[in-house]
């Protein structure tokens, strides 16, 4: 292929040649011919040497799974497997558009001798959660004078899974450390009076109470029979139902409803694991994309992160299928936290909730309210403002209706915006713990 | 690499200077280098423009004056205006006028008689000016080449200098030429025009080699430089932020800020968001944390991996200077010999036609001695080279499709998962359709109200 500068040579050659013909001048003809011949004379030789198939590209990364915002070193090694020199080779390694090139450069231009290799590396910052592919590596081989080139795109894809951001967890931990209240700040382990070893108090003796529980000293003091009560610390089981339907993808990039829901799920799982609660996660839309059952295993957090990292907003919300899938795999009483924008038809949602309650579970809905995640009303013109407010009112009314309907099953709906999504999840978790909902 | 580039830079300058000298000599024979030519051209153009301006003004004034005052005062007014405005204030006279005007009609008659002469002067001056212009552009582009090392400046300088000869040929000036095209290679090589042709070609060749030598080593050098700047900017940003957190006052220099900003996009973005180097920035914990974490990451990387710095700068990929020198000399020599030989053969139809025993009527025809005959062999033979290259690349299987290396198990798993997902989707869609069908059959009512009513009925 001819480069731009090759075309300049062709232009100059043709100009001189035609001038030579027009003015019957041999000098102009000769120099024109020199240029044109000079352009193509070494082309077969270049084609022979520039065998792109002789190049091998190997890409190495230090981690295949990273958190959003983490840094990653990418090493690219180009080996010349052929027996010829590549006089000028340009290598461009592609990386996802949303990522940031933090240090170094993702391209290299040099020459490479037979059997030799060249290595370069650069550091990227993974910006958004998801599954990404590094590559392809584009190789451009040019001749010495830069008149011809060959290109090749070497796929060599490297898959990287970017977990949701960990910054919320870090912030929560930093907050806890600052207040020096430890991890248990704001959340109390649910206590159940009955079995256990910790003394809880006294109560009046009732027929059937074991004699060994009677506290004789206190009974003598009070003049009536009292028994000692003990309490036991119990944990709760929560399943976080993350709706990944298409409508959840609305909002500013990186700040969509789904992104917030995912961040909330990460935070909830982390808090649960810290407090020895069992927190599971289900990502669903029209099908169940991933389900991580509640667990306290050391790798549980990574399983949840893995499932959440792969979530993509598409399809519609099939609440019934999701609840059927999850309840079939959940034997113990569980508290379900739905994170959905409630923009689907209400009948399936109500049916799903019925099934859930019928199975003895409890639930609540944390619902990101669409208009709060989109452009602020202040940015609109007068007409758009009126329309936006009308739409908002309509949506709000629907939401109120569904909230009323759900309250019949004892399910509360909390409407959230981008600012209060995460605080709400912390607050709700604390409440669950205090109430002792869905004790194991 | 720098030494090689400098050597080639000097060679390029020498060849360019020699090419210019040869062109100067050729044109000097024709007496075109009158140093007053640019001034004469400017003056000519200016006087012509003055005339056009004067003509238009006269017409307009005449028109208005005729309507308002009648024919005689209009002539006087124009004469007065010309003498006052043009002669006193402009100091330039239109063609055909050398003194203050007393009669407009006389002036126009005079101009009319000398019009062809004026155009002739303008043409001569224009061509003289063009030689200077081309020379000036050529030299300017050549100087740009030495600094910027870009092919477009080399090509521009070459074309500009050759354009002088093309224009001269158009003006039928005396240029180096063959009386009849030589059939002997030695005669071909020793012809008067060959020196200029070879020097011109050598200038192009050497300049392109110089750019190659520069560009093959430069990226690695640039990379190292960029990395240094990036690391420095990062460290400065971290220190600055630490100082702010400690409550110390920091001195922000424009230099420091610009260095950081141009160093790399990551820090630039942070600065644009006014994160780094400000008290408010402290509130944005994420951005500050990002800069710090990058610093920690880099520190750890550089201490744990001794090759990390070399890999980031791609130091090992820098080519050796000796190879560049050797290959430049050898490559250029081969190209030179090939170009001259092949060109001679292509331009000498007699040499190529000799084996065919053509009749003397054809061999001695006038057409065979015209430059256009070059096309007879030039076009088909030139096209042979790209065709040969195409064949070679085809045989060497350059465009081998990269196959994604997926194991059989992974492929089977992927298919199974896809099938499962499709099945689930179909089922869900069927259920949804059934619900919709049910809904349609019922009366038109807000779906939410209906569902709620149903719910409360239960």
Q: Which of A173-182, A294-303, B164-173, B422-431 comes out lowest in average pLDDT?
A: A173-182
Q: Residue A195 pLDDT more than 80?
A: no
A103 contacts B197? CB cut-off 8 A: no
Contact A241, A326 (CB under 8 A): yes
Interface touch A33/B169, C-beta < 8 Å: no
Provide the pLDDT for residue A66.
93
Q: Looking at chain A, which residue has its C-alpha nearest residue B198?
A: A31
Contact A103 B264 (CB under 8 A): yes
Is B146 in the same domain as B259? Answer: no
Lookup result for tokens 């792969």: A310
B214 touches A: beta carbon within 8 Å: no
Q: Judge if A242 and A224 occupy the same domain.
A: no
The 3-state DSSP composition of chain B as helix, strand, coil percent (nearest 5) reads: 80, 0, 20
B164 belongs to a structural domain = yes
Q: List the single range of A297-306, B151-160, B211-220 with lowest mean pLDDT.
A: B211-220
Q: A161 has which bridge partners? A: A65, A131
**Chain B contact for A114 (CB, 8 A cutoff):** no
Domain boundary among B170, B191, B207: B170
Nearest CB to B290 within list A20, A69, A121: A69
DSSP bridge partners of A363: A336
Its domain, for residue B444, covers: 428-458
Same domain flag for A393 and A374? yes
- pLDDT per residue over B290-301, tens digit each? 788 888 888 888
- CA-nearest of A315, A313, A291, A317 to A304 is A291
β-strand pairing of A86-93 with A107-112: antiparallel
Q: In angstroms, what separates the C-alpha of A274 from chain B's closest C-alpha? A: 23
More confident residue, A204 or B350: A204
Output the pLDDT for position B361.
81
pLDDT over 70 at B71, yes or no: no
Q: Mean pLDDT of all residues in chain B?
A: 76
Average pLDDT for residues B72-85, to the nearest whole number?
69
Last residue of a domain, one of B261, B293, B317: B317
Q: Which two tokens stand for residue B302?
A: 């550089």
- The whole-angstrom distance between B14's CA and the closest CA on chain A is 19
Is position B261 within any domain?
A: yes
Task: Enumerate the residues of chain B whose CB falls inside 8 A of the CB of residue A47.
Answer: 388-390, 392-393, 396
Last residue of a domain, one of B317, B342, B366: B317
Compute, in degrees rounded to 10, the torsion defined by CA atoms A125, A128, A129, A131: -80
Has residue B417 been placed in a domain? no
B158 touches chain A (CB under 8 A): yes
In chain B, what percentage of residues exceed pLDDT 70? Answer: 73
The answer to whether A325 contacts chain B (CB < 8 Å) is no
Question: What is the reported pLDDT for A187?
Answer: 46
Domain annotation covers residue A108: yes
Note the pTM of the prediction, 2 decimals: 0.70
Residues 41-60 of chain A whose Cβ lies under 8 A from any Cβ of chain B = 41-44, 46-48, 51-53
Nearest chain A CA: its distance from B150 CA (Å):
10
Say if residue A267 is in the same domain as residue A295.
Answer: yes
Average pLDDT over residues B404-430: 72
Say whether residue A404 is in contact with chain B using an 8 A CB cutoff.
Answer: yes
Asked if residue A315 is part of any domain, the answer here is yes
Closest residue to A30, CB basis, from B151, B197, B289: B197
Average confidence score pLDDT of chain A: 85
Q: What is the pLDDT of residues A25-51, one digit of tens each?
A: 888 988 999 999 988 888 888 888 877
Q: Do residues B131 and B55 share a domain?
A: yes
pLDDT score of A307 more than 50: yes
Measuring CA to CA, how many Å separate B227 from each of B272, B305, B413? 21, 16, 43
Is the peptide bond preceding residue A136 cis, with omega within 30 degrees of 0? yes
Question: pLDDT at residue B153 above 90?
Answer: yes
Predicted pLDDT of residue A243: 94
Interchain CB distance below 8 Å, B398 and A150: yes
92-151 of B, contacting A, C-beta below 8 A: 151
Per-residue pLDDT at A125 exceeds 70: yes
Can you state the percent helix, strand and coil of chain A, rounding each to 5? 40, 30, 30
Does A440 map to a domain? no
Give the model's confidence band at A389: pLDDT under 50 very low, under 70 low, under 90 confident, else very high: confident
Q: Verify that B110 and B242 share a domain, yes or no.
A: no
Asked if residue A347 is part of any domain, the answer here is yes
Taking CB atoms and an 8 Å cutoff, what residues of chain A touch B231? 103
pLDDT score for A184:
45
Q: Is residue B113 part of a domain?
A: yes
Can you give the pLDDT at residue B363?
74
User: What percent of chain A has a predicted confidence (pLDDT) above 90?
Assistant: 28
Task: Mark which residues 271-330 of B lie under 8 Å from A by CB.
Answer: 285-286, 289-290, 293-294, 297-298, 301, 308, 311-312, 314, 316-319, 323, 327-328
Assign residue A85 the CATH number of its domain. 2.60.40.10
Yes or no, beta carbons of B338 and A41 under 8 Å apart: yes
Is there a single domain that holds both residue B34 and residue B99? Answer: yes
Buried b / exposed e along A21-50 (16+ C-beta atoms within 10 A): bebebbbbbbbbbbbbbbbbbbbbbbbebb
The pLDDT-based confidence of B266 (bands split at 50, 70, 90) is low
Chain B positions touching A123 (Cβ under 8 A) are: 294, 297-298, 301, 312
Q: Please tell me which residue, B110 or A100, carries the higher pLDDT value.
A: A100
Average pLDDT value for residue range B264-284: 51
B161 & B244 share domain: no
Please give the residue of chain B at the shortest CA–CA distance from A11: B159
How near does any CA of chain A get to the CA of B212, in Å?
6
Compare all CA atoms of chain B with the CA of A8 and give the residue at the minimum distance: B155
Residue-wise pLDDT tens digits, A62-91:
889 999 888 999 999 888 888 888 888 888
Q: Do B201 and A31 lie within an 8 Å CB cutoff?
A: yes
| Interface membership of A94 toward B (CB under 8 Å) | no
The answer to whether residue A221 scores a pLDDT higher than 50 is yes
CATH number of the domain to which A332 belongs: 3.40.50.410
Do residues A271 and A398 both lie within one domain?
Answer: yes
Domain range for A207:
191-233
**Residue A217 and residue A329 in one domain:** no
- B354 is a domain residue: no
My answer on whether B8 and B140 are in the same domain is yes
Measured between CB atoms, which of A118, A157, A167 is closest to B317? A118
Give me the helix-helix angle, B447-457 and A346-358, nearest 10°: 30
Contact A401, B452 (CB under 8 A): yes
Q: Tell me, what's the pLDDT at B100?
A: 65
Report the distance separating Cα A189 and Cα A381, nearest Å: 51
Question: How close is the nearest chain A Cα to the Cα of B208, in Å?
Answer: 5
In our burial notation (b when 16+ CB lie closer than 10 A, e otherwise), range B209-231 reads: bbbbbbbbbbbbeebbebbeebb
Asked if pLDDT for residue B268 goes beyond 60, the answer is no
**Interface A:B, Cβ pairs < 8 A:** 290
- What mean pLDDT comes out for the span A376-392? 77
- The answer to whether residues B241 and B279 touch, using CB atoms and an 8 Å cutoff, is no
The beta-carbon neighbor of A33 closest among B200, B217, B347 is: B347
In this structure, is residue A364 part of a structural domain? Answer: yes
Same domain, B61 and B129: yes
Q: What is the mean pLDDT of residues A295-300?
A: 88
Q: For residue B348, what pLDDT is reported?
A: 77
User: Mean pLDDT highest for which of A143-152, A413-422, B118-127, B310-319?
Assistant: A413-422
Query: How does residue A252 score in pLDDT terms, banded at 50, 70 and 90?
Result: confident
pLDDT for B136: 94
pLDDT at B216: 82
* Contact between B317 and A110 using a beta-carbon 8 Å cutoff: yes
- The beta-carbon neighbor of A44 closest among B289, B389, B449 is B389
**C-alpha dihedral sign at B348, B353, B355, B360:** negative
pLDDT at A203: 87
Report the number of distinct structural domains present in chain B: 3
Region at A180 (left for phi over 0; alpha for psi -120 to 50; beta for the rest): left
Angle (nearest 5°) at CA B156 between B150 and B162: 140
Predicted local confidence at residue B431, as pLDDT: 67
Quote the pLDDT of residue B277: 47
Say yes or no: A88 contacts chain B, CB-CB below 8 A: yes
Q: Residue B137: in which H helix or E strand, if any?
A: helix B115-148
* pLDDT one-digit tens code per residue, A308-340: 999 999 888 889 899 999 999 988 889 999 999
Residues A321, A336, single domain; the answer is yes
Minimal Cβ distance to B220: which of A5, A110, A123:
A110
Question: Looking at chain B from residue 346 to 385, which residues have their Cβ under 8 Å from any Cβ of chain A?
Answer: 346-347, 370-372, 374, 378, 382, 385
The mean per-residue pLDDT over the stretch A384-396 comes to: 84
Residues of chain B in contact with residue A105, where contact means CB-CB under 8 angstroms, are 223, 226
Q: By CB neighbour count within 10 A (0-12 exposed, 13-18 middle, 19+ buried), where does A434 fall?
A: exposed
Whether pLDDT at A185 is above 50: no
State whether A241 and A303 are in the same domain.
Answer: yes
**Is the per-residue pLDDT at B409 higher than 80?**
no
Evaluated on CA atoms A368, A370, A376, A378, the torsion sign reads negative
Give yes or no for B212 touching A (CB within 8 A).
yes
pLDDT given for residue B50 in this prediction: 74
What is the structure's pLDDT at B166?
A: 92
Residue B381 lies in a domain: no
A20, A32 in Cβ contact below 8 A? yes
In a domain, A274, yes or no: yes
In a domain, B400, yes or no: no
Q: What whole-number distance in Å separates Cα of residue A167 and Cα of residue A164? A: 9
Number of domains in chain A: 4
Predicted confidence band of residue A186 (pLDDT cuts 50, 70, 90): very low
- Of residues A130 and A54, the one with the higher pLDDT is A130
Name the residue of chain B whose CA is nearest to A165's CA. B286
B179 and chain A in contact, CB less than 8 A = no
Contacts of B456 (CB under 8 A, 6+ apart): A408
Residue B405 lies in a domain: no
The answer to whether B201 contacts chain A (CB < 8 Å) is yes
Residues of B in contact with A288 (CB under 8 A): 424
Name the minimum distance, in Å, from the CA of A146 to any CA of chain B: 8
pLDDT score, position B143: 95
Residue B30 reports pLDDT greater than 60: yes
Residue A398, chain B, CB below 8 Å: the answer is yes
Confidence grade of residue B322 (pLDDT, cut at 50, 70, 90) = confident
Does the structure show a pLDDT above 90 at A265?
A: yes
* Same domain? B162 vs B234: no
Binary contact (B201, A401; C-beta < 8 A): no
Please report the pLDDT score of residue A174 as a whole number. Answer: 74
Residue B144 pLDDT exceeds 80:
yes
The minimal CB distance from A102 to the residues B158, B294, B308 is found for: B294
Same domain, A389 and A316: yes
Rounded alpha-carbon distances, angstroms, from residue B422 to A249, A288, A308: 22, 12, 21
Task: Count CB neighbours of B194 within 10 A.
Answer: 18
Same-domain pairing of A361 and A373: yes
Whether residues A53 and A69 fall in one domain: yes
Q: Which helix (H) or strand (E) holds B436?
A: helix B408-441
CA distance A291 to chain B (A): 14
Question: Is A378 within a domain?
Answer: yes
Q: For the residues A164-175, what does the mean pLDDT come to?
A: 82
């Amino acid at each position: 292929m001819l480069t731009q500068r090759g075309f300049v040579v062709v232009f100059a050659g043709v100009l001189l040649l035609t001038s030579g013909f027009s003015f019957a001048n041999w000098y102009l003809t000769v120099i024109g011919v020199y240029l044109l011949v000079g352009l193509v004379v070494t082309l077969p030789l270049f084609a022979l040497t520039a065998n792109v198939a002789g190049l091998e590209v190997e890409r190495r990364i230090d981690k295949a799974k990273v958190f959003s915002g983490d840094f990653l070193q990418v090493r690219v090694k180009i080996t010349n497997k052929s027996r010829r020199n590549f006089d000028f080779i340009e290598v461009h390694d592609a990386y996802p558009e949303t990522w940031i090139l933090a240090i170094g450069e993702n391209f290299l231009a040099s020459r490479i001798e037979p059997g030799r290799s060249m290595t370069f590396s650069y550091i990227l910052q993974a910006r958004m959660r998801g599954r990404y592919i590094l590559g392809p590596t584009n190789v451009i081989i040019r001749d010495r004078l830069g008149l011809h080139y060959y290109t090749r795109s070497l796929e060599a894809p490297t898959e990287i899974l970017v977990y949701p951001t960990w910054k919320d967890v870090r912030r929560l931990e930093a907050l806890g450390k600052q207040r020096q209240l430890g991890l248990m700040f704001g959340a109390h382990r649910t206590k159940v009076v009955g079995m256990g070893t910790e003394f809880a108090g006294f109560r009046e003796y009732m027929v059937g109470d074991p004699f060994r529980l009677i506290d004789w000293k206190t009974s003598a003091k009070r003049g009536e029979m009292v028994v000692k009560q003990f309490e036991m610390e119990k944990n709760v089981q929560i399943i976080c139902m993350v709706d990944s339907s298409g409508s959840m993808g609305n909002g500013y990039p990186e700040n969509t409803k789904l992104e917030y829901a995912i961040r909330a799920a990460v935070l909830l799982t982390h808090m649960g694991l810290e407090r020895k609660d069992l927190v599971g996660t289900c990502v669903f839309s029209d099908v169940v994309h991933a389900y991580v059952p509640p667990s306290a295993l050391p790798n549980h957090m990574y399983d949840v992160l893995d499932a959440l990292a792969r979530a993509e907003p598409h399809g519609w919300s099939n609440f019934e299928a999701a609840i059927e899938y999850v309840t079939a795999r959940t034997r113990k009483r569980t508290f379900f936290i739905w994170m959905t924008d409630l923009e689907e038809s209400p009948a399936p949602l109500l049916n799903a909730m019925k099934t859930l309650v019928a199975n003895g579970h409890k639930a609540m809905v944390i619902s990101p309210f669409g208009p709060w995640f989109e452009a602020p009303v202040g940015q609109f013109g007068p007409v758009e403002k009126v329309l936006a407010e009308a739409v908002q009112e309509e949506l709000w009314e629907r939401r109120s209706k569904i909230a009323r309907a759900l309250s019949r099953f004892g399910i509360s709906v909390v409407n959230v915006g981008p600012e209060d999504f995460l605080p709400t999840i912390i607050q709700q978790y604390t409440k669950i713990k205090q109430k002792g909902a869905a004790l194991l | 690499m720098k030494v090689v580039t400098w050597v080639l830079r000097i060679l390029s300058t020498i060849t360019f200077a020699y090419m210019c000298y040869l062109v100067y000599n050729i044109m000097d024979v024709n007496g075109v280098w009158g140093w007053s030519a640019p001034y004469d051209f400017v003056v000519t153009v200016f006087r012509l423009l003055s005339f056009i301006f004067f003509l238009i003004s006269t017409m307009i004034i005449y028109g208005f004056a005729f309507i308002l005052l009648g024919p005689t005062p209009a002539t006087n007014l124009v004469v007065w205006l010309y003498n006052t405005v043009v002669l006193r204030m402009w100091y330039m006279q239109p063609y055909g006028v050398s003194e203050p005007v007393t009669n407009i009609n006389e002036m126009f008659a005079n101009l009319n008689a000398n019009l062809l002469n004026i155009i002739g002067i303008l043409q001569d001056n224009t061509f003289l000016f063009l030689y200077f212009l081309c020379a000036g552009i050529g030299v300017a582009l050549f100087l740009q080449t030495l600094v910027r090392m870009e092919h477009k400046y080399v090509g521009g300088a070459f074309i500009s200098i050759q354009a002088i000869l093309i224009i001269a040929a158009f003006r039928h000036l005396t240029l180096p030429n063959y009386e009849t095209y030589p059939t002997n290679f030695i005669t071909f090589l020793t012809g008067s025009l060959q020196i200029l042709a070879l020097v011109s070609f050598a200038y192009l060749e050497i300049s392109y080699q110089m750019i190659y030598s520069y560009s093959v080593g430069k990226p690695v050098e640039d990379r190292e430089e960029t990395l240094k700047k990036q690391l420095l900017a990062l460290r400065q940003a971290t220190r600055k932020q630490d100082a702010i957190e400690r409550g110390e006052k920091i001195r922000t220099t424009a230099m420091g800020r610009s260095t950081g900003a141009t160093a790399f996009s990551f820090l630039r973005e942070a600065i644009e968001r006014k994160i780094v180097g400000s008290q408010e920035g402290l509130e944005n914990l994420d951005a500050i944390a990002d800069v710090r974490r990058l610093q920690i990451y880099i520190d750890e990387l550089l201490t744990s991996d001794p090759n990390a710095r070399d890999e980031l700068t791609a130091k090992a990929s820098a080519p050796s200077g000796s190879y560049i020198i050797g290959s430049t000399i050898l490559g250029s020599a081969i190209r030179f010999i090939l170009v001259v030989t092949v060109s001679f053969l292509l331009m000498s139809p007699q040499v190529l036609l000799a084996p065919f025993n053509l009749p003397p009527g054809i061999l001695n025809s006038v057409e065979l001695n015209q430059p256009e005959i070059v096309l007879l062999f030039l076009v088909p033979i030139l096209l042979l080279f790209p065709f040969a290259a195409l064949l070679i690349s085809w045989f060497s299987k350059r465009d081998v499709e990269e196959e994604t290396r997926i194991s059989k198990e992974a492929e089977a798993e992927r298919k199974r998962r896809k099938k499962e997902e499709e099945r689930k989707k179909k089922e869900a869609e069927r259920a949804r359709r059934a619900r919709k069908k049910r809904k349609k059959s019922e009366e038109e009512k807000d779906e939410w109200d209906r569902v709620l009513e149903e719910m409360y009925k239960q």
